[in-house]
Amino acid sequence: MLLDDKYRDIVVNDNLENKQKYIVGVDLGGTKIATGLFDNQGQMLSRTQRATAGLQSAEDVIATIVETIREVSGDHKIAGVGVASPGAIDSRRGMILNGINLPGWSNIPLQAELESRLGTEVKLVNDANAAAWGEFVYGAGRGSLNMIYVTFSTGIGSGLVLDGQLFLGSNSFAGELGHTVIDPHGAVCGCGRRGCWETFASGTAIGRMGQEAVAEAGGISLMSELASAEDLPVMATHVFQAAAAGDVVACDTLANVIHYTGLGLMNIIHSFNPDCIVIGGGVSRAGSAFFEPLMKQTDELVMEPYRGTFNLKPAELKDDVGVIGAAALFKDNVN
Instruction: Supply the minimum distance, in Å, between the C-beta of residue 128 and Zn ion.
Output: 14
Candidates 189, 243, 249, 321: give the one binding Zn ion (CB under 5 A): 189
- How far is residue 160 from each of residues 39, 141, 207, 221, 313, measured CA to CA in Å? 25, 11, 27, 38, 15
CA dihedral 142, 143, 148, 151 (to 10 degrees): -20
When the beta carbons of 83 and 189 are compared against Zn ion, the nearer one is 189
Choose between 199 and 237: whose C-beta lies nearer to Zn ion.
Answer: 199
Strand partners, 277: 148, 312
The answer to whether 122 contacts Zn ion (rule: CB under 5 A) is: no
Q: How far is the CB of 196 from Zn ion (least distance, A)?
A: 3
Q: Which of 92, 106, 148, 82 is nearest to 320 (CA)?
A: 82
Q: Which stretch binds Zn ion (CB under 5 A): 146-154, 168-176, 183-191, 229-237?
A: 183-191
Q: Is 194 in the site for Zn ion (CB under 5 A)?
A: no
Q: How far is the CB of 182 from Zn ion (least distance, A)?
A: 10
Q: Which is nearer to Zn ion, 204 or 253 (CB)?
A: 204
- If we measure between CA atoms, which residue out of 34, 21, 52 comes closest to residue 120? 21
Residue with Cβ nearer Zn ion (109 or 190) = 190
Q: Specify the residue, 205 or 327, whose C-beta has the smaller distance to Zn ion.
A: 205
Interaction of residue 156 with Zn ion, rule CB under 5 A: no
Could you tell me which stretch among 23-31, 50-58, 178-186, 244-252 binds Zn ion (CB under 5 A)?
Answer: 178-186
201 binds Zn ion (CB under 5 A): no
What is the pairing mode between strands 22-28 and 276-281?
unpaired
Please pick, from the candidates 196, 222, 223, 278, the single residue that binds Zn ion as defined by CB under 5 A: 196
Q: Is 179 in the site for Zn ion (CB under 5 A)?
A: yes
CA atoms within 13 A on the CB side of 201: 31
Shortest spacing between CB 191 and Zn ion, in angstroms: 3
Using the rule CB under 5 A, give the single segment among 130-138, 168-176, 193-201, 264-272 that binds Zn ion.
193-201
Q: Residue 84: exposed, middle, or buried by beta-carbon count in 10 A (0-12, 13-18, 19+)?
A: buried
For position 191 contacting Zn ion by CB under 5 A, the verdict is yes
Between 196 and 295, CB nearer to Zn ion: 196
Stretch that binds Zn ion, among 29-37, 113-121, 195-203, 286-294 (CB under 5 A): 195-203
Q: Does the protein bind Zn ion through residue 148 (CB under 5 A)? A: no
CA nearest neighbour of 122 among 108, 135, 136, 132: 108
- Report, in Å, the least distance between residue 183 CB and Zn ion: 12
d(C-alpha 216, C-alpha 321), whole Å: 39
For 34, other C-beta atoms within 10 Å of its C-beta total 20
Minimum CB distance to Zn ion smaller for 188 or for 220:
188
Q: Which is nearest to 317 in space by CA: 134, 62, 105?
A: 134
> 49: Cβ–Cβ under 8 A, 6 or more apart, which residues?
32, 33, 34, 35, 68
E strand intervals along 39-141: 44-51, 78-85, 88-90, 95-98, 122-126
Question: Residues interacting with Zn ion, by CB under 5 A?
Answer: 179, 189, 191, 193, 196
